Amino acid sequence: MAQIVSESVTVSHQALREFTWGCLKKAGLSKENARLVATSLVESNLRGIDSHGVARLPHYLNRIRHGSIKPNPEQKFTRISPALGRLDGDHGMGQLVMQRATEEAIALGRETGAGWVAVENSTHCGALAFYGLQIAKADMIGLVFTHSDSMVVPYGAKHAFCGTNPLCFAVPGENGHALCLDMATSVVPWNTVLNAGIEGIEIPETWAVDRAGNPTTCPSEVEGVHAFGEYKGSGLGLMIDVFCTFLLESPYGPHISKMYGDPTIKRHLGGLVGAIDISRFQVPSHFRKNIARLMQEWNAQQPVRPGERVLYPGQPEEATRVHRLAEGIPLGIHLLTIFEEVSQELDVPWNPCL
């Protein structure tokens, strides 16, 4: 996966969660809502998805301050058929909206065998694995989609059109393991480029283009990132925009307000969450056993580099989570400086060594 390497300090996940929770409460979220968002963000860091972790906290706080994110939205769920629902997120934090959509999809799936919830009026929701893994834990197959503003250059074009438009597929294995593919349809998440800018480091020239459509290694010059797999990722990203846009008339691509644009303008993001009840097809324990065997056979494949291992989707994140729970989460030194400023501004204690 695309990553950046910068000078960092290791922070305990408990300290990070308490600080994030405290900041969100000070910003107006209820204790329950703040805890959910804080858990989602720190969980992303624990799994090594730093692009969607606590580095986004200052951005969320800024949008709450300017009114484009409601700290405690009045979400409205409408069941439109036995297996289908729509959720108006009321411009709340995307984590709250997608969590509600996940819970409703699971409930529909338990009742009818499959549940699908289309989302409107949401905001950036963080890493999709947070929701997909909940569906897998419920002995269901999870499918989660969302979209974003124009960030990805279509194959053969010079300028961005769709967003990084991620997807997540998750299925349960045994002993708490899961197959979980959570990926953007771009070669790198936009927020990884942003994190590189925060830490003042260059990015590979194969990731992104500048305003003129030329390759750039400077994060501040990036106007678009490339789709993964050339025309394949480009086409997949476009179709995800369809899933997230036209069921409920949300905006798409270049018509979505910029995540890092005017913080007073609401974003109206869409999404789609699906849950398929495995028990309608076979006994879940048998399904999990088969997935575990699949994982073992995958791991047993001969690697190109001696001494390495062929990993299944979600396995690197599982290993990173175990390591970071024990050893702590690395945060860039410049991000830590920003957190110190946020701590003083909101009067929230910040003790990274807790």
Give the 3-state secondary structure of 166-227.
CEEEEEECCCCCEEEEEECCECCCHHHHHHHHHHCCCCCCCCEECCCCCEECCHHHCCEEEE
CB 152 within 8 A of CB 186: yes
Is residue 50 domain-shared with residue 133, that is, in the same domain?
no
Is residue 279 domain-shared with residue 323, that is, in the same domain?
no
Is residue 93 domain-shared with residue 156, that is, in the same domain?
yes
CA distance 348 to 74: 27
Domain contains 192: no
Domain contains 304: no
CA distance 351 to 19: 8
**Parallel, antiparallel, or unpaired: how do β-strands 140-146 and 224-226 relate?**
unpaired
pLDDT given for residue 354 in this prediction: 52
Is residue 248 domain-shared with residue 333, that is, in the same domain?
no
What is the full per-residue pLDDT of the chain (354 aa) written as tens digits?
566 566 788 999 999 999 999 999 999 999 999 999 999 999 999 999 998 999 999 999 999 999 999 999 999 999 999 999 999 999 999 999 999 999 999 999 999 999 999 999 999 999 999 999 999 999 999 999 999 999 999 999 999 999 999 999 999 999 999 999 999 999 988 878 888 888 888 989 999 899 999 999 999 999 999 999 999 999 999 999 999 999 998 999 999 999 999 999 999 999 999 999 999 999 999 999 999 999 999 999 999 999 899 999 999 999 999 999 999 999 999 999 999 999 999 999 998 765
> What is the domain count for the chain?
2
Domain contains 204: no
pLDDT given for residue 4 in this prediction: 58
Is residue 350 domain-shared with residue 244, that is, in the same domain?
no
Is residue 295 domain-shared with residue 345, that is, in the same domain?
no
Is residue 166 domain-shared with residue 267, that is, in the same domain?
yes
Catalytic residue among 124, 147, 226, 268: 124
Domain contains 221: no
Domain contains 244: yes
CA distance 200 to 276: 44
Sequence-distant (≥ 6) Cβ neighbours of residue 180 within 8 angstroms: 129, 132, 133, 136, 168, 169, 170, 171, 313, 314, 317
The DSSP symbol for 280 reads: G
CA distance 202 to 200: 7
Is residue 328 domain-shared with residue 260, that is, in the same domain?
no
Is residue 131 domain-shared with residue 247, that is, in the same domain?
yes
CA atoms 216, 217, 221, 223: torsion sign? positive
CATH of the domain at 135: 3.30.1370.60
Distances (CA, A) of 154 to 32, 74, 151, 209, 218: 40, 36, 10, 12, 21
Domain contains 206: no
pLDDT given for residue 174 in this prediction: 97
Distances (CA, A) of 49 to 7, 230, 317, 318, 320: 17, 23, 8, 11, 10
Could you identify the residue written with the tokens 């309608």? 280
Is residue 138 domain-shared with residue 10, that is, in the same domain?
no
Query: Is 159 labeled as catalytic in the residue annotation?
Result: no
CA distance 189 to 207: 10
Distances (CA, A) of 31 to 12, 26, 89, 93, 280: 21, 10, 19, 14, 37
Is residue 236 domain-shared with residue 146, that is, in the same domain?
yes
The reported pTM is: 0.94
Domain range for 337: 1-66+314-354
CATH of the domain at 353: 1.10.1530.10
CB 179 within 8 A of CB 171: yes
Domain contains 110: yes
Question: Inter-axis angle of helices 129-137 and 94-112, to 10 degrees?
Answer: 30
Is residue 54 domain-shared with residue 1, that is, in the same domain?
yes
Domain contains 211: no
Distances (CA, A) of 259 to 115, 304, 325: 29, 40, 30
The DSSP symbol for 302 reads: P
